[in-house]
Amino acid sequence: MGQLAALCSTMPTVMESLQKMVLGPGTQAPDFTLNTHSGAQITLSELRGKTVVIGFHPASFTGG
């Protein structure tokens, strides 16, 4: 129960941070590098001029 209380107490701070990170329509995304499923690295700037869709699924495939 203590862990739940600690999590709930940090949620307002987390939500404020996430709101600051949200980009509006037409805003250029910051450059970043991620690992692909095959282990290679890809940088957003390498895809300039192409359509890029990024989906985040934090709870998918985690079993929890």
Token pair of 35 as six digits: 């690992």
Residues composing the chain: 64
The pLDDT value given to residue 4: 52
Rounded-to-integer distance, Cα 36 and Cα 42, Å: 7
| Model confidence pTM above 0.85 | no
What average pLDDT score do residues 2-14 get?
Answer: 55
* Better-scored residue on pLDDT, 9 or 23: 23
Q: Is the pLDDT of residue 63 over 50?
A: yes
What single string gives the DSSP state of each residue in the chain?
-HHHHHHHHHHHHHHHHHHHHPPPTTPPPPP-EEE-TTS-EEEGGGGTTS-------TTTTS--
Q: Give residue-wise pLDDT tens across range 29-61.
A: 889 898 888 989 999 999 999 998 877 776 666
